Amino acid sequence: MSNLADRIERHLKRILDDSQQGYIILRRGMLAAEFSCVPSQINYVLSTRFTVERGYLVESRRGGGGYLRIVRLGSTTDRQLHQAMRELIGEQISQERAYNLIERLLNDKLVTIREAEILRCVLSRESLGGETLQRDILRARLLKNTFIILCREDLA
Amino acid sequence: MSNLADRIERHLKRILDDSQQGYIILRRGMLAAEFSCVPSQINYVLSTRFTVERGYLVESRRGGGGYLRIVRLGSTTDRQLHQAMRELIGEQISQERAYNLIERLLNDKLVTIREAEILRCVLSRESLGGETLQRDILRARLLKNTFIILCREDLA
DNA sequence: AGACAGAAGGTCAAAGAAGGTCATAAAATC
DNA sequence: GATTTTATGACCTTCTTTGACCTTCTGTCT
């Protein structure tokens, strides 16, 4: 049914959830062997699913004793998160990166599924229309403005 | 004897009725094979029979592990409301009229307070920027698109 | 210290696996 | 007979998977 990349993603998220420390350390080669795939498949999963926008950080080390370390960026306090988000968004943002951010908000339960869908809809290429650059700028503004609302505690 | 498109339509609606979740997921290629037709015939059926106006939403994903997901939107009354809204919104809409609509949605408990705030924020003059006319057109598009999501049964 | 071997992980391009589009042909309807 | 609807196929885009080749680190042997 679902593809390899998705299965590896789920597996990593599961053990990440189970881990107390908020991060996991593993061998790329081992993981690849467990899933009977080439090692670079792991890199593919990491670079498409464990991005900063989605709230993850990946470190690694080569050579003997090398490893991968996947850190889940915690549900920071509102103010920190707000600042971090503003920086991640910047003056313009692509649909893909915006969707990744929404994914993270969803993961951290800062938005409901419906809210996430509304945001995705509003920030979609299709809805925004116009030129790419203008669209990316508009998207950044919308996302940053909306974010203020999501942080409002009086709306819980 | 009915034609292929109608048969595919009936088949999809039947399994959609059988499904508890309000949506189905399937492979375009598989379905085409079942009906011994070219894959693009499936797209034809989807684009003529499973439109938003008729109360359906179709999402898809390409590549390995790709799929089609057909979602049934809410009840007929919901859909009638939806149609009425589309007409009410039209091709362009002012901030004031948009806010009035949101107010009504809130009153009818079709959106939460937070969702309403998000919508107000997104549809505000300041967020949208640009020329008045362009803004009103964009606002109409955003509102209409978003409204589809509010009718989605699978997000209850 | 320097050279080298082995053990990781990284990169990138090409192949594969879906689904999407669009023009056109064929069939049905008016 | 004209128009609308349906069916097909060639070609396109997106996402995934694989493999060949590259870089970095550790440890050992001169």
What does chain B look like in DSSP terms, one character per residue?
A: ---HHHHHHHHHHHHHHH-SSSEEEE-HHHHHHHTTS-HHHHHHHHHHHS-TTTTEEEEEE-STT-EEEEEEBS-HHHHHHHHHHHHHHTT---HHHHHHHHHHHHHTTSS-HHHHHHHHHHTSHHHH-S-HHHHHHHHHHHHHHHHHHHTBGGG-
Give the per-residue pLDDT at A75. Answer: 67
B-chain CB neighbours of A117 within 8 Å are: 149, 152, 155
Q: Which of A1, A117, A141 sits opposite B149 (nearest CB)?
A: A117
What contacts B95, CB < 8 A, 6 or more positions away? B123, B124, B125, B139
Give the per-residue pLDDT at B9. Answer: 98
Query: For strand D, is any atom closer than 7 Å to the CB of B62?
Result: yes
Q: pLDDT tier at A156 (50, 70, 90 boundaries)? A: low
Chain D bases closer than 7 angstroms to a protein Cβ: 5-10, 13-20, 23-27
- CATH code at position A111: 1.10.1200.150
In degrees, rounded to 5, the angle at the alpha carbon of residue B136 between the alpha carbons of residues B134 and B142 is 100
* Same-domain check for residues A65 and A129: no
B-chain CB neighbours of A138 within 8 Å are: 128-129
Rounded to the nearest angstrom, the minimum Cα separation between A116 and chain B is 10
* Same-domain check for residues A89 and A108: yes
List all residues of chain A from 26 to 85 with a beta carbon under 8 Å from chain B. none
* Same-domain check for residues B143 and B96: yes
Question: pLDDT tens digits, residue range A69-123?
Answer: 999 987 666 667 788 888 889 999 999 999 999 999 999 899 999 999 999 999 9
How large a percentage of chain B has pLDDT more than 70?
Answer: 99
* Same-domain check for residues A67 and A97: no
How large a percentage of chain B has pLDDT more than 90?
Answer: 79
| B126 touches A: beta carbon within 8 Å | yes
DSSP state of A50: S
Question: pLDDT tens digits, residue range B31-72?
Answer: 999 999 999 999 999 999 999 989 999 999 999 999 999 999
Do the chains contact at A128 and B117, CB–CB below 8 Å?
Answer: no
Q: How many structural domains does chain B have?
A: 2
A8 in Cβ contact with A35 (< 8 Å): yes
**Mean pLDDT (chain B, rounded):** 93
Neighbours of B49 (CB within 10 A): 16
Burial B15-33 (b: 16+ CB within 10 A, else e): ebeeeeebbbeebbeebbe
Do the chains contact at B118 and A114, CB–CB below 8 Å?
Answer: no
Query: For strand D, is any atom closer than 7 Å to the CB of A2?
Result: no
For chain B, state the CA radius of gyration. 18
Neighbours of A14 (CB within 10 A): 10
Give the per-residue pLDDT at B1. Answer: 63
Give the per-residue pLDDT at B85. Answer: 87
Q: Which of A5, A127, A146 sits opposite B118 (nearest CB)?
A: A146
Residues with CB under 7 A from strand C: A 26-30, 39-40, 42-43, 60-68; B 3, 26-30, 39-40, 42-43, 58, 60-68
* Same-domain check for residues A151 and A92: yes
Q: pLDDT tier at A10 (50, 70, 90 boundaries)? A: very high
Give the per-residue pLDDT at A78. Answer: 67
B-chain CB neighbours of A95 within 8 Å are: none
* Same-domain check for residues B36 and B96: no
| A96 touches B: beta carbon within 8 Å | no
- Looking at per-residue confidence, does A93 or B151 come out higher? A93
* Same-domain check for residues B83 and B49: no
* Same-domain check for residues A60 and A100: no
Task: Give the pair of three-digit tokens for residue A8.
Answer: 């590896």
The rounded distance, in Å, linking the Cα atoms of A11 and A3 is 13
A121-136: average pLDDT: 93
Neighbours of A90 (CB within 10 A): 12
| Partners of A60 in the β-ladder | A68
* Same-domain check for residues A85 and A150: yes
In which domain, by residue range, is A83 found? 78-155
- CATH code at position B68: 3.30.56.130
User: Helix (H, G, I), strand (E, B), or coil: what is residue A126?
Assistant: helix
Rounded to the nearest angstrom, the minimum Cα separation between A65 and chain B is 33
* Same-domain check for residues A87 and A61: no
Mutate to test the interface with A, among B71, B91, B118 (most CBs of A within 10 A): B118
What contacts B93, CB < 8 A, 6 or more positions away? B101, B136, B139, B140, B143
pLDDT over threshold 70, residue B146: yes
* Same-domain check for residues A149 and A83: yes
Question: pLDDT tens digits, residue range B61-101?
Answer: 999 999 999 999 987 777 788 888 888 999 999 999 999 99
Which of A72, A87, A114 represents a domain boundary (last residue)? A72
Which of A72, A99, A123 represents a domain boundary (last residue)? A72
Which of B43, B72, B101 represents a domain boundary (last residue)? B72
Give the per-residue pLDDT at A80. Answer: 76
- The stretches of chain A forming alpha helices (DSSP H) are 4-18, 28-34, 39-49, 78-89, 95-107, 113-123, 125-128, 132-150
* Same-domain check for residues A147 and A87: yes
